[in-house]
Chain A
């Protein structure tokens, strides 16, 4: 019996499913689209990404390699940057976390469904007959994910350092005093969520121990593998929570910087 003797292929969106299968891909589409639009807009602003009198720095702009704020590591906009191109300190760094999320196994499965309809949802008809998957260009490039993961791990360290710095406030006399503000808490929660997402990465899980068939002789790696595996079980949840927290952290810093919101000093 030929394999083509299966029931006829259904058209786009056709299914016998009775449930509201379109709700999840719709919310995924709206969630990702909102984040992409907002983060692109925020990156292009190049302003209001830090708060005077505090050490708050938006995670969209951290680390600030070049820029005009006191957080800049290597001074103002570099001379080699093309003068005709729009400039923002965020342009130099956002490709890294953006690439990490774009090539993430969870996000891939989610946006293939929500943006590509490949498939729109499980057992629902697709819009195209042709399918190449991740077997050839361009999607075979998704295999670069582990390289983005290496950079993302470094970013977690840098963002954690930002939280430490956010615990120091200007005393008005040129010095700094220790304190905790609402912004400090927001940046802390953000780095915890980003860390939980990054350290639950499938590539990290593989490299830390998944690539070995026997880990019992390596107790430290076994413990690390279990730890990453534990976070990996909630990878989708942390992917969404950290996406929201990183966006909200920027909103908070931006609105405080613009004077629309005032930071609440807890102590």
Chain B
């Protein structure tokens, strides 16, 4: 069996450094397999968060050779093994230890977003009728597994730490799923502009590139929301037009 070296971050922010581990690798292995093998062989105290090993729980997010990826979905056969494979924790969130970061900020952000508020039921039995064409657009956003790789790669959070002013691509997608839902009647545009900080997004599309579910975050969620914010706050002609249509 061939051997490969993995350069894994060990320790905390203040007291940590990358450390090399060499282990045997075989056909079909993913990075998470190698990390588990290293954990079993020579680093029993290495902290790594994982769960489903099938790319659906979003737990094993990390940075592999500098790219935010799910460890369980990154095949070793797709990586150059002639040099050490770097495995680092996500950089947008506080590091707890080794490969584990504290992502609880994301859950706090989600709680602050206005909840789904459906219109009055369409039928007397309290149910609604939705055309498939109308709900199709938001179904894409529901594929999100909350791995937070998009949050990690977003330079507004990763480099500039605007966590208090910007909710990040994951939650802009979540807002899009609510805001564009055919039944929802809640208004989130003021929040998007002010406290959610949608203006911080400068459309680098890095979030779209790293999404393991292939959600077209920038084009289908963020830009349409930006356009809705323009409708409300930055389009004087539209504002003028709405004044006349309301008064007539």
Chain A interface residues toward B at CB < 8 A: 1-10, 15-19, 105-106, 108-109, 112-113, 118-119, 122-123, 125-126, 129, 131, 133-136, 139-140, 143-147, 202-203, 205-207, 210-211, 213-216, 222, 232-233, 235
**Shortest Cβ distance from residue B71 to the other chain A in the assembled complex, whole angstroms:** 15
Given A109-B203, A140-B234, output 19 extra A-B contacts at Cβ < 8 Å: A2-B94, A6-B161, A7-B91, A7-B95, A16-B63, A19-B65, A108-B203, A122-B67, A122-B155, A123-B67, A126-B155, A131-B155, A133-B197, A134-B199, A146-B227, A202-B223, A207-B227, A211-B227, A214-B134
Number of A-B residue pairs, CB cutoff 8 Å, is 157
| A105, A123, A135, A203: residue with the most chain B Cβ atoms closer than 10 Å | A123
CA–CA, A106 to B205, complex, Å? Answer: 9
> Chain A at the B interface: mostly helix, strand, loop or mixed?
loop
Report B-chain residues with C-beta under 8 Å of the C-beta of A232.
219
Question: Known contacts A1-B102, A112-B202, A131-B160; is A16 also within 8 Å of B197 by CB?
Answer: no
Asked if B94 and A5 make an inter-chain contact with CB atoms under 8 angstroms apart, the answer reads: yes
- B227–A203 contact, CB under 8 A? yes
Q: Whole-angstrom distance from the CB of A134 to the nearest CB of chain B?
A: 5
Whether the pair B199, A1 counts as a contact (CB closer than 8 A) is no
Residues of B within 8 A of A (CB): 9, 13, 63, 65-68, 80, 83, 86, 88-96, 101-102, 104-105, 131, 133-134, 153, 155-156, 158-163, 180-182, 184, 197, 199-206, 209-210, 218-219, 223-224, 226-228, 230-231, 234-235, 237
The complex places the Cα of A108 from the Cα of B223 at a distance, in Å, of: 12
Q: Hey, which chain B residues are within 8 Å of A133, CB to CB?
A: 156, 197, 199-202
Which residues of chain A are within 8 angstroms of B184 by Cβ–Cβ distance? 213
User: Are A123 and B206 touching (Cβ within 8 A)?
Assistant: yes
